[in-house]
């Protein structure tokens, strides 16, 4: 059986908030333990063979990988659905004002719709859902990988919306944009999971991974179709609920595909990582701020222009 090499940091981890004296004591004990192990392997005078020279037995440390069960916070799961629904409704409202009577496309509304769909309905939902997920292990998120996943979600959503807006009634264009957007959304999801740092690894269930990608493609195609097919407010609310359900189904299916295998429990994490406890308030505050700005812009369009889709100046 192949064993993972264990470091002294795995045996005696420094707890958060440890004092200078605690740290120095651990270092002294580590040196003493190392010298004791080395001394125990010196040749004896009687036999010339290596062996222990003292009655003290040094126990062998074996790190056996173990599978950890994940649990979910139901309030945060419900919050992830609510954020996805609000983001979807905002995206539908902005996309509905994107096409003018002459067939041209308002690019500004396409960008705000892509921001609401990719940045809030998908990306923010993903990380709130990740905060709802917990295992008995310290977890952190890499900042730059997390930001890249955000940019990817917004960019893919914006490009797909702009491509479909030019000719929303063409089925081939819708299927192509939906497939590309769905794969992009799935890539964002797994890129976000790749930003996680913890003392272990993920063991992936490939059939569930494939299912999550299929759900992502279906959800993206439905979102693009609904973005330019719903006009009444009641229809948009119902459509946003359907979109939120599809996004959450994709996310939690992808999470079910990952089994956490612990290889170094309580490993200390770098200080530059984002902590799960900090993610939810940050993501929620930014999401609500962006939604408020987009909603204000849509309100001003309705107030300043009789029909924003027809008479608003080109951008």
Residue extents of the structural domains in the chain: 1-63, 66-311
State the pLDDT at residue 164.
86
In this prediction, residues 177-191 reach a mean pLDDT of 89
The mean-pLDDT minimum among 1-15, 163-177, 284-298 falls in: 1-15
Residue 265 has what pLDDT? 59
Confirm if 309 and 99 have CB atoms less than 8 A apart.
yes
**Six-digit token string for 241:** 């609920």
pLDDT exceeds cutoff 70 at 257:
yes
Show the beta-strand stretches assigned E in 78-228. Answer: 133-134, 139-141, 196-198, 200-204
Q: pLDDT tens, 14-51?
A: 444 444 444 444 443 444 444 444 444 444 444 444 44
pLDDT on residue 205: 93
Mean pLDDT of 2-8: 44
Provide the pLDDT for residue 271. Answer: 59
Contact partners, residue 3, CB within 8 Å, separation at least 6: 62, 63
Q: Are the C-beta atoms of residues 253 and 216 closer than 8 Å to each other?
A: no
What pLDDT does residue 269 have? 60
Distance (Å, whole) CA 273 – CA 151: 19
Distance separating alpha carbons of residues 161 and 97, to the nearest angstrom: 12
How far out from the chain centre does Cα 219 lie?
A: 17
The CA distance from 84 to 247, in Å, is 7
Give the separation between CA 249 and CA 269, rounded to whole angstroms: 30
What pLDDT digit, counting tens, does each position of 58-73 carry? 343 445 678 888 889 9
- To the nearest whole number, what is the mean pLDDT of the chain? 76
For the chain, percent of residues with pLDDT exceeding 90: 24
Backbone angles phi, psi at 6, to 5 degrees: -100, 130
Buried b (16+ CB within 10 A) or exposed e, 240-278: beebbebbbbbbbbbbebbebebebbebeeeeebbebee
Selection from 53-62, 95-104, 291-300 with the highest mean pLDDT: 291-300
């Amino acid at each position: 059986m192949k064993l993972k090499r264990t470091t002294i940091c795995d045996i005696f981890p420094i707890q958060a908030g440890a004092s200078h004296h605690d740290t120095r004591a651990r270092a002294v004990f580590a040196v003493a333990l190392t010298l004791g192990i080395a001394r125990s392997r010196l040749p004896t005078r009687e036999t010339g063979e290596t062996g222990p020279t003292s009655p003290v037995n040094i126990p062998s440390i074996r790190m056996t990988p173990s599978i950890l069960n994940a649990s979910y916070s139901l309030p945060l799961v419900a919050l992830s659905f609510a954020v996805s629904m609000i983001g979807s409704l905002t995206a539908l409202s902005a996309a509905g004002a994107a096409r003018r009577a002459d067939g041209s496309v308002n690019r500004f509304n396409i960008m705000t719709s892509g921001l609401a769909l990719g940045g809030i309905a998908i990306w923010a939902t993903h990380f709130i859902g990740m905060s709802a997920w917990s295992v008995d292990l310290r977890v952190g998120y890499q900042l730059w990988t997390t930001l890249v996943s955000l940019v990817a979600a917004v960019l893919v959503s914006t490009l797909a919306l702009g491509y479909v807006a030019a000719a929303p009634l063409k089925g081939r264009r819708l299927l192509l944009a939906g497939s590309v957007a769905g794969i992009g959304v799935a890539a964002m999801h797994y890129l976000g999971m790749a930003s996680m740092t913890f003392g272990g690894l993920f063991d992936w269930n490939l059939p569930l991974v494939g299912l999550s990608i299929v759900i992502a493609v279906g959800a993206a195609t439905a979102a693009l179709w609904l973005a330019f097919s719903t006009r009444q407010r009641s229809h948009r609310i119902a459509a946003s609920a359907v979109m939120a359900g599809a996004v959450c189904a994709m996310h939690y299916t992808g999470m079910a595909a990952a089994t956490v295998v612990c290889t170094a429990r309580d490993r200390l994490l770098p200080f530059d990582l984002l902590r799960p406890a900090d993610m939810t308030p940050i993501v929620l505050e930014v999401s609500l701020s962006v939604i408020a700005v987009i909603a204000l812009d849509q309100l001003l369009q309705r107030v300043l222009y009789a029909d924003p889709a027809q008479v608003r100046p080109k951008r």
